[in-house]
Amino acid sequence: MKTRYKIFGGIALMLGLQGLALANPKAATVEDEFKAALFCQTEAFDARDAKTVARLGEHSIKVKNLEEDGLINQEFHFATPLNIDNVTVSVVRYLGDSGSYFFAVARGDMNNFAQSIGAKPIPDELKQTLSWGNINQYYKYTAPVTTDNPYPKTILIGRDQDAKTGEFYFGCLEVDN
C-alpha cells in the first residue's frame, strides 16, 4: 500500500508543479514578439497606436511613423540588433495600403536563411501575386491555399537593387482579399 501512495504522491507533486509553472509562464520578450510577427505567427506592431509606441520605447526601440494620412509606413530601430535564425536585424519596416508587408532589414546569408525556414524560390507564375517591389525571391505560405483563403499570409524573402552586400529582407506579406 505504501508504494501506491508514494507513486500517487509523486504524480500529484509533479502535476502540482506543472500547474505552478503554467500559472507563472515566462513572458515572451519583445524580440520574440517581433520574430513571431515577421514569421506571420502574430499581428504586426502598429506604431499608429500610442500604447504600442510607449511600450516599445520602454525597450529602447525607436519608432518612426513616416506617414501622416493613415497609410502604414513605419520603421522600428533596435538599439541592440536582434539575432533571428542566424541573421542580424537592426531595423524592421511596416508598409501597408491594400495589403501589408512587415519586414526586417537583415544582414547574413539570404540563401541559407531561406533554406533554414523551408522557403522556396518564387516561380514565375506567382511573381506578380507575391511581389512587393523587388522583394520577391523566396516565399513560404503559412497556411494552405484554398478557395476560402486564396492568399494566405506569406513569408517573403529577397533583396532589391539598392541592397547593400549581405543585406536582404524577410517578413510577413498579407494580401487583402
Say what the pLDDT of residue 131 is. 66
Alpha carbon separation from 69 to 34, 56, 103, 132 (Å, rounded): 25, 22, 21, 21
Q: Which residues of the chain are modeled with pLDDT < 70?
A: 1-27, 131-136, 177
Question: Contact 11/19 with Cβ under 8 angstroms?
Answer: no
Rounded-to-integer distance, Cα 177 and Cα 169, Å:
24
**What is the three-class DSSP state of 113?**
helix
Domain borders along the chain are: 2-174
pLDDT at 8: 36
Query: What pLDDT does residue 31 have?
Result: 86
Per-residue model confidence (pLDDT) at position 103:
95
Residue 139 amino acid letter: Y
* CB distance 168 to 149 below 8 Å: no
- Residue 84 sits at the vertex; the CA angle it makes with 82 and 88, to the nearest 5 degrees, is 55
Q: Do 67 and 73 meet the contact criterion of CB atoms below 8 Å apart?
A: yes
The string of pLDDT tens digits covering residues 24-53 is 244 478 889 999 999 999 999 998 889 999
Contact 97, 176 (CB under 8 A): no
Q: How far is Cα 27 from Cα 170, in angstroms, rounded to an integer?
A: 25
Which residue reads 523551408 in cell numbers?
Answer: 118
C-alpha cell at 150: 486564396
4 three-state secondary structure: helix
**Regarding beta strands 138-141 and 154-158, do their DSSP bridges make them parallel or antiparallel, or are they unpaired?**
antiparallel
Neighbours of 40 (CB within 10 A): 22
SS3 at position 44: coil
